[in-house]
Chains A and B, each alone.
Chain A
Amino acid sequence: MTAIALRMTGADFLKIRKKRGTLIWALVLALAPIIVFLTVKAIQHSSDPHKYGPAGGTTGFSDGLRVLALFFDPLAVILIGVEAGTGDASAGVFRDLVVTGRSRLALFASRVPAALALSWLITIGGFALLTAGIFVLAGNLPTPDGALILNGLGFAMLAAGVVCVVAVGFASLTTSKPASITALIGWQLVASPLLAQISSLGNYRDGLLSQAIAHFSPVHVGGGGHGATVTMSQGTALLVMVAWLAIFLALGAWRTNRMDA
């Protein structure tokens, strides 16, 4: 990355980081579910220790990782990705950036690492909270070893990163923050899980991003191979993720390059 690209990425990071509403909501979505999850399990355990095990330990880690990486953290990073993709256009500043003579593709490209950096910081925060919780609340259960924790962190960052980049591309394509948030969260929460359950779709379900991501989970998160609802090979899952990234990055770049500033 060149010096100017680093400076532009830093500027984009500043824009998103200072967007207080977006940041607060992203933090709430990443952290609050972990707190609620651990608290509820701890209360259940303390109220009936024979029926409910401790909140922490390896079991708590698996459940918590699923809550974080596959459900709520993607929502948090969607907010960040959309902010990165639409911030300049919605503030009307894109025009002022273009008249500097800097290429539009460079302006688009700097959004991606900036959004990724903030998304990963939030993901790491959520993961750190989960890890601390499962050790503190482990009771007599075994705790995950270092390798599993590192794999879990890598998986959470992979999931956050892929969804974030797709969100940047999609938001740059639509240039509308409300439309992008509605569409992406609707897809993530409703459409994608629904489609994954429709077995008559057969192999077409391999194209679902959330299913492809789930195949890289280090813990069991569902009924399919490697823990996903839909069964597919690791190679197919990787291809699906790359395809989603390539398509939405290309669409976002194309729109940024062509749009009337």
Chain B
Amino acid sequence: MAPPAHDQGPDLPGSGSPEGRLAVETRGLVKCFGRRTAIDQVDLRVPRGCAFGFLGPNGAGKTTMIRMLLGLTRATSGSMSVLGRPVPAQRAEALERVGAIVEEPRFHPHLSGRENMQIIAAVRGPEADARIDPALRRVGLGDRAHEKVRKYSLGMRQRLGVARCLLADPLLLILDEPTNGLDPGGIQEFREMIRVMVEQEGRTVFLSSHLLDEVEKTCDAAAIVDRGKVITQGPIAEISRGGDGVRDELLVGVDDVELALQTLAGSELVREAQASEDGIRLVLAGAPETAAAVNAALVHAGIGVLRLEPVRHSLEQRFLEITARLDEAPGDGSSSAAQEEVRT
């Protein structure tokens, strides 16, 4: 993953240091609630200028992690930094340019959308006042800002929550399940807004979700978290491929499957091949361009090639593989072994 280049300006706190190049970094982070470990030795590195998905099933520890980053709850042990500032030691400076929605966005229901924005702007500082109207317009609430929030739908509240984040002119947005309550059109608009924030404005978006599709379509990189542990993290494409980066697969439709398997069995072009419902599914031994040579070999052997298409690895498939392995691994020790196996 290569975060898009952008001018972050001289006001980035700590951008010169190695930690400053990361929007979020945690080392050995642990959070225990009594005897239950909710976050277990998490090392997380979120680069600046990208949309980063924090993906995991419900109860995996996503919200707990976010709450620690924002100083809403204390870590049991470990260290963390936000925008290059250690948290909680320099929490105020770290959060100055952070906008966040934790769980569902909440507001004073007896106040209008604009008044709720004024409340947060008052706490943020005078420069936030000028951002109220642009932020409301940006999320499509410019015409409804005078209405009391108790009349807002859940989707409107989500959008108002994003507008509230924008009051900080955030370098980092932390959004916890942000598309909850949005209709399909709203979800699409939201994704586009995230991409604009990342690609055109150079902001970092840390997006926690249990929706694989949402993360895959919105984010450049992700971390998969389960049972309080980060199982894998990195660019979405690498996670989907399994992390080794060379697992290029092809689906080949042929008129003689048996003969095609025999032909490919001795070929140096193919690492493995097996029959599937759609023809033959094979893993290339070399670069994706090797597919042309495979086609030539099959044609040369007199086999009719009906189709040849790369297998698209989905994050969902990968996620299910990982969590299935964890489910199969008995006990904590084996679980750790499974995590090591899939760690990229």
* Chain A residue with the shortest CB-CB distance to B73: A260
A87 touches B108 (CB 8 A): yes
Residues from chain B with a CB closer than 8 A to the CB of A100 are 95, 120, 123-124, 168
The reply on B151 being an interface residue by CB < 8 A is no
B100 touches A99 (CB 8 A): yes
Q: What distance in Å separates the Cβ of A176 from its nearest Cβ neighbour in chain B?
A: 17
Cross-interface CB contact of A98 among B72, B105, B106, B110, cutoff 8 Å: B72
The reply on B111 being an interface residue by CB < 8 A is yes
Residues from chain B with a CB closer than 8 A to the CB of A87 are 108
B110 touches A18 (CB 8 A): yes
Cross-interface CB contact of B91 among A14, A91, A93, A101, cutoff 8 Å: A101
In angstroms, Cα B107 to Cα A153, docked, is 37
The reply on B310 being an interface residue by CB < 8 A is no
Q: How many residues of A contact B (CB 8 A)?
A: 27
Q: What distance in Å separates the Cβ of B234 from its nearest Cβ neighbour in chain A?
A: 27
The reply on B281 being an interface residue by CB < 8 A is no
Interface hits, B87-108 → A, CB 8 Å: 91-96, 98, 100, 102, 105-108
B118 touches A96 (CB 8 A): no
B92 touches A101 (CB 8 A): yes
The reply on A228 being an interface residue by CB < 8 A is no
Q: How many residues of B contact A (CB 8 A)?
A: 32
Cross-interface CB contact of B120 among A20, A96, A260, A261, cutoff 8 Å: A96
Q: What distance in Å separates the Cβ of B66 from its nearest Cβ neighbour in chain A?
A: 10
Cross-interface CB contact of B94 among A8, A10, A95, A101, cutoff 8 Å: A101
Residues from chain A with a CB closer than 8 A to the CB of B1 are none
Instruction: Mark interface residues in A78-106 (1 if CB within 8 Å of B CB, else 0).
Output: 00000000010001110111111111000
* Chain B residue with the shortest CB-CB distance to A6: B122
The reply on B195 being an interface residue by CB < 8 A is no
A97 touches B72 (CB 8 A): no
Q: What distance in Å separates the Cβ of A29 from its nearest Cβ neighbour in chain B?
A: 20
Residues from chain B with a CB closer than 8 A to the CB of A98 are 70-72
Tell whether A92 pairs with B94 under 8 Å between CB atoms, given A7-B122, A11-B119, A100-B123.
no
Question: Among B72, B73, B122, which residue has the most Cβ atoms of chain A within 10 A?
Answer: B122
Cross-interface CB contact of B118 among A14, A95, A99, A102, cutoff 8 Å: A14
The reply on B43 being an interface residue by CB < 8 A is no
* Chain B residue with the shortest CB-CB distance to A91: B108
Residues from chain A with a CB closer than 8 A to the CB of B106 are 91-93, 95-96
Question: Among A10, A19, A101, A107, which residue has the most Cβ atoms of chain B within 10 A?
Answer: A101
Tell whether A11 pairs with B118 under 8 Å between CB atoms, given A99-B70, A99-B98, A102-B92.
yes
B107 touches A93 (CB 8 A): yes
B73 touches A11 (CB 8 A): no
Tell whether A20 pairs with B110 under 8 Å between CB atoms, given A11-B123, A14-B115.
yes
The reply on A4 being an interface residue by CB < 8 A is yes
Residues from chain A with a CB closer than 8 A to the CB of B123 are 4, 7-8, 11, 97, 100, 102, 107
The reply on A3 being an interface residue by CB < 8 A is yes
Residues from chain B with a CB closer than 8 A to the CB of A10 are 122
A15 touches B94 (CB 8 A): no
Cross-interface CB contact of B105 among A96, A103, A107, cutoff 8 Å: A96
In angstroms, Cα B95 to Cα A95, docked, is 13
Q: What distance in Å separates the Cβ of B169 from its nearest Cβ neighbour in chain A?
A: 13
19 further contact pairs, Cβ within 8 A, besides A7-B125, A18-B111, A91-B106: A7-B126, A8-B122, A14-B111, A14-B118, A15-B119, A18-B108, A18-B110, A20-B110, A87-B108, A91-B107, A92-B106, A95-B72, A98-B70, A98-B71, A99-B95, A99-B98, A99-B100, A99-B102, A103-B92
Q: Could you tell me which B residues sit within 8 Å of A by CB distance?
A: 70-73, 91-96, 98, 100, 102, 105-111, 115-116, 118-120, 122-126, 164, 168
Q: Could you tell me which A residues sit within 8 Å of B by CB distance?
A: 3-4, 7-8, 10-11, 14-15, 18-20, 87, 91-93, 95-103, 107, 260-261
Q: List 25 A-B contacts (CB under 8 A).
A: A3-B126, A4-B125, A7-B122, A7-B125, A10-B122, A11-B119, A15-B111, A18-B115, A19-B110, A91-B106, A93-B116, A93-B119, A95-B102, A96-B106, A96-B164, A99-B70, A99-B95, A99-B98, A99-B100, A100-B123, A101-B91, A101-B92, A102-B124, A103-B92, A261-B73
